[in-house]
């Protein structure tokens, strides 16, 4: 792994925690010596890509990401196009809608819009990461990739967490992921029942907007959702995917 890849891995680890990350934890989780970790973090600090808080000496993302993220959201029309589309989707269904993109071995939620249902089933926060194949939007993204890329991603996520694999909390099972891909491709959409939160189901489809692969998904309380409602949700999801691909807000 080169310096660029190592620095990127440190940024990924920092981004995965809201409370900030300690130097020792970053060294342990990345598998790099503490001296190497500190040297790379110093370089990231110099570029304003990371910063170390004075209060507790934990590392967090630097201010440069505010500029970069703002530019990326504009380039991919997240707020201009995707937000209105997901807003309409969530209003039609009355449940929470999500937009996710691929980042390395993970799917990252870049947009969440809550529906009007008082019993909201929110399973994903903006900025949160999940291994590709875990969750409806994430599975839709993974199933849309080529077979060689899917094989590489599954093999990497199946490694022990200390070696860069998926976090233990996700109970990443390659056989289950492969079965999910087959099911997604067969039925034309991704689905799960209580995979992440007991009682909360999800469905998702993939789309390409401004050249970027995206997963659009909905989460809802399974026992309170009829088969007819699920069918309607899927229709609205597919309509939202077409709107994104055609550049319609």
Q: How confident is the model at residue 116 (pLDDT cuts 50, 70, 90)?
A: low
Tokens 């990252």 map to which residue? 108
- The C-alpha atoms of residue 112 and residue 216 are separated, in whole angstroms, by 10
Residues 6+ away with beta carbon under 8 Å from 235:
none
Looking at the predicted structure, is the pLDDT value of residue 244 above 50?
yes
List, for residues 194-242, the tens digit of each pLDDT value.
Answer: 888 888 999 999 999 878 899 999 999 888 899 999 999 999 999 999 9
**152: pLDDT confidence band, cut at 50, 70 and 90?**
very high
CA gap 17, 1 in Å, rounded: 23
Average pLDDT of the residues of the chain:
89
Q: In order of start, what are the domains of the chain with their CATH numbers?
A: 3-67 (1.10.10.10), 76-246 (3.30.450.40)
CA atoms within 13 A on the CB side of 152: 8
Quick: pLDDT tens for 44-75. Answer: 999 898 999 888 899 998 888 778 877 777 77
- Residue 13 near residue 29, CB atoms below 8 Å: yes
């Amino acid at each position: 792994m080169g310096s660029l890849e190592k620095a990127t891995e440190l940024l990924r680890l920092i981004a995965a925690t809201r409370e900030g990350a300690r130097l020792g934890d970053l060294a342990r989780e990345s598998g790099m010596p503490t001296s190497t970790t500190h040297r790379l973090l110093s370089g990231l600090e110099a570029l304003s890509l990371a910063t170390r808080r004075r209060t507790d000496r934990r590392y967090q993302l630097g201010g440069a990401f505010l500029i970069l993220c703002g530019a990326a959201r504009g380039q991919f029309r997240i707020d201009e196009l995707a937000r209105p589309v997901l807003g309409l989707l969530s209003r039609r269904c009355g449940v929470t809608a999500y937009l996710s993109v691929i980042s390395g071995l993970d799917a990252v939620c870049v947009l969440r819009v809550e529906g009007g249902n008082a019993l909201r089933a929110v399973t994903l926060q903006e900025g949160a990461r999940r291994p590709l194949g875990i969750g409806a939007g994430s599975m839709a993204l993974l199933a849309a990739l080529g077979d060689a890329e899917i094989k590489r991603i599954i093999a990497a996520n199946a490694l022990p967490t200390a070696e860069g694999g998926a976090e233990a909390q996700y109970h990443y099972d390659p056989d289950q992921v492969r079965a999910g891909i087959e099911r997604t491709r067969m039925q034309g959409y991704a689905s799960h029942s209580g995979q992440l939160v007991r009682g909360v189901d999800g469905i998702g489809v993939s789309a390409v907007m401004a050249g970027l692969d995206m997963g659009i998904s909905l989460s809802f309380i399974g026992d309170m959702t009829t088969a007819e409602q699920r069918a309607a949700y899927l229709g609205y999801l597919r309509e939202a995917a077409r709107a994104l691909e055609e550049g319609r807000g």
